[in-house]
Chain A
């Protein structure tokens, strides 16, 4: 549209040399503006990044299903890493392609505090360069963490142990009593 805006008046005017020069200069400036604007706009402002699930649970290993748009012209990224404070990647694999989009499955270990978190997705390309995009997500409190269940399990084991010990002692005493009662006076 910017280019069209500069080209249109040129058609209506007579094609004299100074006019052509001015037109060319304008066109050059317009192209420069477009190039600079393209470089300044971050990739994720135009693209549609999808990360599922949007809610993570702390204390769990979650599998993220990520749809990455075309981050750079040319070949798609060769690796993808997801990280955030308290979130680290365990494994990552390319699971499919749809047009210029790539689909990834990334297993992450979530140890983050519950609340909002910004996941950094770092896509690595074959030439060794990276493109990083961000996705806002939410970490939920653990529904049943191993830490919280551990005291309960310990208490149950302890009670069972005590009961077993008491039963064994009772059986032992009973056996000794029977033995004593069978002995002749």
Chain B
């Protein structure tokens, strides 16, 4: 069995230390080592987006990042989106717009949508569809997801005015 490697990174604002085998992905480390099971595995080859997390300000599919690569980095997962004050406006918009059915793709969509709205507070429908092209949803046909992101964008802009 391969020896484990020490990794220290900041996950959802907390300094976190853990041991992983070199072959383990960041997704495996999050789910199996740290019990942060909100990031989902749908394909394990970067094509479904269910494991999307923020790594040092970039969105990545965590199944394609080795856990050892995340040493000294800052990671935000779905567990870090809501705060003690409650849901993030994107999460609230997903609920109010019925933008989820089975919910397995939802964490990835919410992390990816937050990354978009953090950069571009007022995206068009086309821009949202392009940005979310790496997140697969098989239940909704995307309609209500796109509407939820548009809705969240509007509400977040009103809130910051």
A and B associate in one complex: no
Residues of A within 8 A of B (CB): none
